[in-house]
Each structure stands twice: as C-alpha cells, then as structure tokens.
A = this chain, B = another copy of it.
Amino acid sequence: MSKSAAIRLHENDDVIIATQQLMPGNTLAEFDVVVADLVPPGHKIATRAIKAGEPVRRYNQIIGFAKADIGAGKHIHVHNLGMGEFERDLAIGQDKHDTPPAAQPATFMGYKRRNGKVGTRNYIAIIASVNCSATVVRNIANHFTPQRLAEYPNIDGVIALVHQTGCGMNSAGEGMQILRRTLNGYAVHANVAGAVFVGLGCEVAQVGPMVAELGSMEPGMLQTLNIQDLGGTSKAIERGIEQVTAMLPAVNAYKREPVPVSNLIVGLNCGGSDGYSGITANPALGGAVDMLVAHGATAILSETPEIYGAEHLLTRRASSKDVADKLLARLAWWKDYTARNGGEMDNNPSVGNKAGGLTTILEKSLGAVAKGGTTNLNAVYEYAELVTAKGFVYMDTPGYDPVSATGQAAGGAQVICFTTGRGSAFGCAGVPTIKFATNNVLWNRQRDDMDVNTGDMLDGVTMQEVSQRIFDAIIRHASGEKTRSEALGYGQDEFLPWHVGAVM
C-alpha cells in the first residue's frame, strides 16, 4: 500500500485512520500494521493489541474504551468501542501537564500600542451603537477610499462595524450586555488604533454609557457622535469624516516592528466542515496551536454546540476546578437557551457520522476540539469577554461562523484560523482570517478563497509538516500579508454580534 493509505494523528494514538478502503492482509509498512478486517475510508484501525476496558486514544485524547479485546490491525468501531464509565466522569484536570517553552522564541512584525497590546493590522473603526446609525457609519467609512488614504501607507483602512440591533431590546438583558462587550471589545482591540462610536440619539444602546465603560483611550483616538444631536444624516457623516481625518496622522505613525509571538491571540474556528475536517485541517491546526502555546501565545477554542456532551475532552485538560466549573456552567446555560427556544442540544453521532467512521460523541467532538491542540485549558470566557490568559483558552460562542469569530475578535483575537471542507466564504472584520482547506478538491476548486491547503496530509505529508506550515502562515499573515478574504473585501458584512433575547 502507498503511504497515503492511512494517517496517524498523534504519536501516542492507538489508532490510525484509513484514507482509502483497506482489505484484510493489506500491509501498512510505516505503521507496522497488517490490516485484519475490511476497513472503509475514514474508519479506525488498531495499531496495537488493546485489552477490554483499556482507553483508546485518537489525537492523543480518549475517544472511548475497548468493549472487548482488540487485536492489532483490527477495525475499531461501535462493535468494540464504547463510552464506558467515561460519560459519568469529568476527570477534572486529570490530563493536566506542563508545556515546555519553545527553545527559540519566534517573532512577528506587529504594531505595538502604548497600552502594551500588539496589533496585526492598523485600522480605524466606525462603530454603530444601533442599526439606525448603520448608514451614517457606512458613509463615514466609505469616504476613506484607498485613494484618500494613499498618504497614510501604514493605515489598513477605515472599517464600518454595523449591526442589526441596539434598540427594540431589553436595556438590562443579556443581549444588551453581549452587544456592549462586542462593540467595546472592538473599540479597544489591538488592531484598532482609533474608533468613532456613532449613535442615533434615542436608542436603547446609548453611546455615552457604553463608551464610559471603556476607560481611558489614547488622546483623540476615541470619538463619539449622535445623529440627532447634529441635526441629521449629512451633518453626522460630515462630523465623522472630520473626526477620522484628525486621527489619520497619529494612526499612520504606528509602524510594524518585531515582537514576540507571545503577543498573539489566535481564534480557532471551523465552518462548512466535511469528513476530512477532523483528519486533516483540525488536528494539524491543533499541532500549530501547541506550538503557539509553547511560544507563550494564546489560542481560543469556541463553538459550544459542537462540544456539547463531550465536555470531558476539555475538563480533563482544565488547569483548575474553577476553569472546569465555568465551562460546565456555560453548557448548562446552553441547555436552557435551546430549551426555551423550543429546541434541544444533541451532538451525538448521527447514522451518517457512524457510516463515516465516527464511533462516539467524544470522537465526533474531537473533530472540532482537535483545533485546540493538547495543552492545558487555562481559562473559560463568555462571549466577547476580553481574553487575558495565556495558553489554550475557551470562549463560549455559537457554532455559527460569523457570530463565533466576531466574539473571538471582540475578545482580542488578532488572527482567526478557520478550517473548512465545503468552502466557507468568510472573513472577520479587522482581523486577518486564514482559511485552511481540509481536502485537495476544495483547494483546487476554490483557490480564490483559501489560504492554505492541508489536504495533502491524505497524500502522506505528515501532520508535523502541515502544523509547521500553519504556524508559518499565522506568522506571515500576522506580519501583514493579506489573507484571501481581506483581498476579496470580506469583513464588514460579516461583523455579527451574537443576538440573544427577544426582538421587541
């Protein structure tokens, strides 16, 4: 067999994954395995003899326990692998371990801000407090065309952050808190050198109190205006243009300089996933995350509906009981949220999942969680909360891509890593979004939208190699190289604060 007939996702794993249909007697030389059963592509093969009751690992994480003795080379699936006692045991902190720091600290070229944060881009953001100011915001931002910014080569642009809410909502509810955190998070974001908040005047989400929460910003770099105070649309646009124009010299004064990778906060996301996501792009991204963590950086896993029911995957890695408890509290919130909206959380493997080779909910969720690598879980954040911890952290978000990435960006992510198998069309406002294709077909068909291929892992390129490729791409794009979605103009229409609560 060619060396692409199966794939190993972690050196500690008890299984390899077939990448084509295998027959009894096929020899997989580099894994030292002789196949003992008919194994469909995407399904698991034991690489060693496993005793009944022993844990089985994929991505170096437990996906279940052998229900019977399993010989080397045997097909592993629902007939011989189950959840065992695992589902009643959160095993908090049981897999906690030290991550040795990288020998040679890597750097990228970033914009150092006076408050110590480091940007990967240098934007001015025009922020709508309410949908009613969206058109004014767009007009202010659109005024600053590349031609008008030609004298300011260090400015990446003036972006419009508009949204659909800010009024017709409970002024004290969770929805308003989330909106404020999101807008304020963007205002203080390392990629945003200056911000103008634009309100209508009579909305629920008043600009004054919102901005008051921000604390001190650099002089002149936080401005506000209200359309009604100024006498309408045209005057408001004019004022906003003046405010931004006054900021341009100071924003342009920022220059890129070498800074340690420990300043990076990377948001992890996936959308339009396919059967390869959990085999190629996601675990390879996880490998890059382990490297980032070794360099002292931060990586944010999210998308709570995709880990629901498999929270053990994260609680085992929790650095403390507090961290695990916070995660469990968010899962409880979700159960209530979906129930009161007439739905339910159900992340169990479907018939189709099982046909594709996914045996347990742990293994299914691992497909998504694999993005987060294998280091300790150091903190859990609510949606759009400011991320301050280092290492691997979790932020509670929906799985819906634009909403999830907007929360990560508001929390401080200066790079988003996004894996896709079906071909996502997404870019995050103000934050470079690197798109990883999970398979060669997508890579070739939709090159226009994809930044990095990981599909060649199925041709035998090692995960280590692809993880390094991803790490390098993060450094490159953090240092200024435009991503495909930036080149295509994505971002402003994909700024989506999570909408929770009634629209009244």
Q: Which residues of A contact B (CB under 8 A)?
A: 131-136, 138-139, 162-164, 167-170, 173-174, 200-202, 227-228, 231-235, 271-272, 305, 337-338, 340-343, 398-403, 422-427, 445-449, 488-490, 493-494, 496, 498-504
The reply to whether A403 and B503 form a contact with Cβ atoms under 8 Å apart is yes
Expressed in whole angstroms, the minimum distance between the Cβ of A30 and any Cβ of chain B is 34
Known: A399-B504, A402-B164. Contact between A494 and B135, CB under 8 A? Answer: yes
Given contacts A338-B502, A489-B135, contact A227 B494 (CB under 8 A): no
Q: Please name 11 further chain A to chain B contacts, defined as beta carbons within 8 Å, in addition to the given A168-B400, A233-B488, sorted by A numbering.
A: A131-B494, A170-B341, A173-B341, A200-B423, A201-B272, A202-B422, A202-B423, A228-B272, A232-B425, A233-B448, A337-B502
If the complex has contacts A232-B446, A503-B403, A504-B400, are A493 and B423 also in contact, measured as CB distance less than 8 A?
A: no
Residues of chain B within 8 A (CB-CB) of A305 are: 504
A425 to chain B, nearest CB (A): 5
Given A340-B340, A343-B502, answer yes or no on A201-B232 (Cβ-Cβ < 8 Å). Answer: no
Contact, CB under 8 Å: B400 / A232:
no
Q: A169 to B423: give the CA distance in the assembly, Å.
A: 19
Looking at the assembled complex, report how far the CB atom of A405 sits from the nearest CB atom of chain B, in whole angstroms: 11
Of A228, A425, A446, A500, most B-chain CB atoms within 10 Å: A425
Report yes or no: B401 in contact with A132, Cβ–Cβ below 8 A.
yes
In the assembled complex, 19 residue pairs joining A and B whose CB atoms fall closer than 8 Å, in A order, are: A131-B496, A132-B402, A132-B424, A135-B493, A164-B164, A167-B400, A168-B398, A168-B399, A173-B342, A231-B445, A231-B446, A232-B446, A233-B425, A233-B488, A235-B448, A340-B340, A340-B341, A343-B501, A403-B503
The answer to whether B234 touches A448 (Cβ under 8 A) is yes
A202 to B274, CA, bound (A): 10
**Copies of the polypeptide in the assembly:** 2
**Could you say which of B168, B200, B489 contacts A425, with CB atoms under 8 Å apart?**
B200
A488 to B235, CA, bound (A): 12
Q: Would A131 and B493 be within 8 Å (CB), given that A227-B423, A232-B423, A272-B200 are in contact?
A: yes
CA distance A272 to B226 in the complex (A): 14
Q: Given the complex, which residues of B lie within 8 Å of A400, measured CB to CB?
A: 167-169, 503-504
Q: Closest approach, in angstroms, between the C-beta of A307 and any C-beta of chain B? A: 13
B338 & A426 in contact (Cβ 8 Å cutoff): no
A488–B265 Cα gap in the complex (Å)? 40
A500: B residues at CB distance < 8 A: 503
B residues in contact with A493, CB < 8 Å: 131, 134-135, 138, 162
Chain B residues whose C-beta falls within 8 Å of the C-beta of A136 in the assembled complex: 425
User: Please, how many angstroms separate the alpha-carbon atoms of A139 and B228 in the complex?
Assistant: 31
* A426: B residues at CB distance < 8 A: 132
Q: How far is the CB of A88 from chain B (nearest CB, A)?
A: 26
Contact of A201 among B138, B233, B423 (CB under 8 A): B423
* Of the residues B402, B490, B504, contact of A398 by C-beta under 8 Å: B504
- The residue from B401, B447, B488, B494 contacting A134, defined by CB atoms under 8 A apart: B494
Complex formed: what's the CA distance from A399 to B233 in Å?
22
Q: A128: nearest residue on chain B (CB-CB)?
A: B493
Contact residues in B for A232 (Cβ distance below 8 Å): 423, 425, 445-449
Nearest residue (CB) in B for A491 is B135
For the complex of A and B, the 4 pairs showing the least CB-CB separation, nearest first, are A168-B400, A232-B448, A134-B493, A341-B502
Query: Is the CB–CB distance between B501 and A341 below 8 Å?
Result: yes
| Chain B hits for A272, CB < 8 A | 200-202, 228
Are B488 and A234 in contact, CB atoms less than 8 angstroms apart?
yes
**In the bound complex, CA of A168 to CA of B423 (Å):** 16
Pairwise interchain contact A131-B402, C-beta atoms closer than 8 A: yes
Query: Which residue of the partner chain, among B202, B398, B448, B501, contacts A231 with CB atoms under 8 Å?
Result: B448
Q: Report the Cα distance A233→B484, complex, angstroms.
A: 10
Specify which chain B residues have a CB less than 8 angstroms from the CB of A489 in the assembled complex.
Answer: 135, 139
Question: Could you tell me the distance between the alpha carbons of A60 and B474 in the complex, rounded to whole angstroms?
Answer: 69
* Cα separation A357 to B346 with both chains bound (whole Å): 53
Residues from chain B with Cβ under 8 Å of A422 in the complex: 201-202, 228
Q: A446-B231, A493-B162 are in contact. Are A398 and B340 (CB under 8 A)?
A: no
Closest B residue, CB atoms, query A226 = B423
